Chains A and B, each alone.
Chain A
Amino acid sequence: MSFKLPQKLRMGSSLELVGAYLLAVFWIFPLLYAFWAAFHDTQYAIRFELFAPLTLDNFREVMSQAPFFRYGLNTFMVVSFLLPLQLVVSTLAAYAFAKYKFFGSNIAFVLVLVQLMITPEILIVQNYGTLANLGMVDTIAGIGLPYIASAFCIFLLRQTFKSIPKELEDAAQLEGCGTLGLLWRVYVPLAMPTYLAFSLVSLSHHWNNFLWPLIVTNSVETRPLTVGLGIFGAPESGVDWSIISAATLLSVAPLLIAFLLFQKQFVQSFMQAGIK
């Protein structure tokens, strides 16, 4: 529909455009600045000499001072072990809540939802004790363990499963599908968008998680990127802006690049997860 806008309104919208872009520039600026600083010598970064010579020394320095590659590998191991387990455990539970009226299922569901409020990092004191008793302090598995059962994932999948029409279930049963066959052949394929949405949200959450991994890990072999970066950037370690910028950039790069490439999916996933 295109009709000519009144002069006043057009003025308004070009002002709005300027405002929108100013806000965007302000929002993206800190990251751009870190990006710029990472490729320049600290003395230029501090003086903000925009066209100072580019250098990769900062990245070399970071890699020689701290094992960021190893940290990245650890983070990758945490998320790649955690996410499949989250999906399996939550799928089974969500299926139980969506399709079975089992003894105490209503109360059980409310107890599941409690975890939406009381996330494991709130209970660090006690959960650290539990992990110590299990002998899992300073292990990759220990970083992920408290998050395997995710109330959020159970809730999302239950909502999705409930919306799947009963006729499909009946048809599958006629074809001779058992309980798990039904779940695997009918429910899981139909819930793919929900799985994708949760996966992206979970991935970005655990890639960025800090407090619990900080408490659990105390060696290079387990420490994820965030904790490594936290130690590296601590003010007492002698702050060199450009080197810290380089380290920061290295830590956020994998997720940030994934986000920039699959921006639409990420945004839609967060949106979808929020509506439910």
Chain B
Amino acid sequence: MKLRSQHIQGWLLFAPAAILLVAFTHYPTVATFIKSLFTNSSIIRPSRFSGFESYQNLASDPVFWKVLVNNMWLALGTIPTSIALAIIMALIVNKAIVGRGFLRMAYFTPTMLPMIAVANIWLFFYAPEIGLLDKALAIFGVESHNWLGDTTTVLPAIIVMTIWKEAGFFMIFYLAGLQTISPELEEAAKLEGSSRWNYFWRIQFPLLLPTTLFVFINAFLNSFKLVDHLFVLTKGGPDNASNLILYYIYETAFSFLDVSYASALTVVLLIALAIAALGQFFFMDKRVHYR
């Protein structure tokens, strides 16, 4: 009897969250997959089963491949650099340095800004001729350049901005990681005459590896989720050079009103996220303990 009431009480407590999670996470995940197998319904023609037709269209859609490759470049461009910067920032701020509070605030502040505001500010820098970047480069005699209007420079420009936005956020996790390292290790290393460089690579970096994995997964997920800035900066252009998969999903569903195709795109995005989840599961299961 007591056992039964345990089950019931447990489920009653969980029920509100369960209903909402099913409604906005699990059901839509399944429904998206099903929708991708059917054609769009319209007033004159009801939806019909089309199998993997949407996916065949996907495979032959150059824009799809373009956004996928862009997403990969974005991840490659932002993740290693922002992780390296985050570690450097954390090492700086972790020490008893003059003006530590100011430094931490300066590094962390971009994290508190919405991406849309960041884009507004950076639009300013990248503007041809009147923008600050062109102004600064003009001092060195470099000619004016339309950074966001050129297919070769638009993605790197966005990568730099994203690094600026994210490094301070990742710094926090490294700061937390550094504080778990016993100060005795540093003293021991000093006594042994080990250099700072050596101490970092032999002691700190290996001990921070779980943090790095955690940050890496987070950064990977973010590289798929962050598209807000595209609305202000480029709308995915020019010629889809800065388009990303989530933005393409948005365009397909809400501008071209092609729900079936948008669903197929979403399934691809879900697969990418699932790969990240599996990666986390395999690499981290021994490090992170769910009690």
Chain A interface (Cβ within 8 Å of chain B)?
12, 16-17, 20-21, 23-25, 27-28, 30-31, 33-34, 37, 46, 48, 89-90, 92-93, 95-97, 100-103, 105, 108, 111-112, 114-115, 117-130, 145-146, 148-149, 151, 154, 159, 162, 179, 204, 207-211, 214-215, 225-226, 229-230, 233-235, 239, 241, 244-245, 247-248, 251-252, 255-256, 259-260, 263, 266-267, 270-272, 274-275
In the assembled complex, B132 has its CB within 8 A of some CB on chain A: yes
Chain A residues contacting B276 (CB-CB under 8 Å) are: 117
How distant is the Cα of A126 from the Cα of B175 in the complex, in angstroms?
39
Chain B interface (Cβ within 8 Å of chain A)?
6-11, 13-14, 16-21, 23-29, 31-32, 35, 88-89, 92, 97-99, 101-125, 130, 132, 135, 164, 168-169, 172-173, 175-176, 196, 214, 221, 224-225, 227-228, 231-232, 246, 249-250, 253-254, 259, 262-263, 266, 269-270, 273-274, 276-277, 291
The answer to whether B6 and A100 touch across the interface, beta carbons within 8 angstroms, is yes
The answer to whether B14 and A125 touch across the interface, beta carbons within 8 angstroms, is no
Closest to B34 in A: A126
The answer to whether A93 and B24 touch across the interface, beta carbons within 8 angstroms, is no
Top 8 nearest A-B pairs (CB, nearest first) are A102-B10, A100-B10, A208-B114, A126-B28, A149-B20, A96-B13, A93-B17, A24-B106
The answer to whether A207 and B114 touch across the interface, beta carbons within 8 angstroms, is yes
B interface secondary structure, majority: helix
The answer to whether A101 and B228 touch across the interface, beta carbons within 8 angstroms, is no
The answer to whether B109 and A115 touch across the interface, beta carbons within 8 angstroms, is no
Whether A23 contacts B26 in the complex (CB less than 8 A), given A33-B132, A251-B114, comes out as no
Closest to A263 in B: B105
Chain A residues contacting B231 (CB-CB under 8 Å) are: 210, 214, 230, 234
The answer to whether B21 and A112 touch across the interface, beta carbons within 8 angstroms, is yes
Closest to A19 in B: B92
Question: What would be 8 A-B contacts, judged by CB atoms less than 8 Å apart?
Answer: A12-B196, A30-B118, A30-B164, A103-B10, A125-B249, A145-B20, A149-B17, A244-B124
How distant is the Cα of A23 from the Cα of B89 in the complex, in angstroms?
9
Instruction: Tell me the smallest distance from the CB of A20 to a CB of chain B, in Å.
Output: 4
Most buried by B among A93, A145, A251, A274: A274
Instruction: Tell me the smallest distance from the CB of B3 to a CB of chain A, in Å.
Output: 9
Q: Among the listed A20, A234, A248, A252, which residue makes an inter-chain contact with B97, where contact means beta carbons less than 8 Å apart?
A: A20
Instruction: Tell me the smallest distance from the CB of B141 to a CB of chain A, in Å.
Output: 18
The answer to whether A27 and B17 touch across the interface, beta carbons within 8 angstroms, is no
The answer to whether A256 and B24 touch across the interface, beta carbons within 8 angstroms, is no
How distant is the Cα of A96 from the Cα of B18 in the complex, in angstroms?
11
Q: Among the listed A101, A226, A272, which residue makes an inter-chain contact with B6, where contact means beta carbons less than 8 Å apart?
A: A101
Whether A122 contacts B20 in the complex (CB less than 8 A), given A28-B106, A48-B135, A271-B173, comes out as no
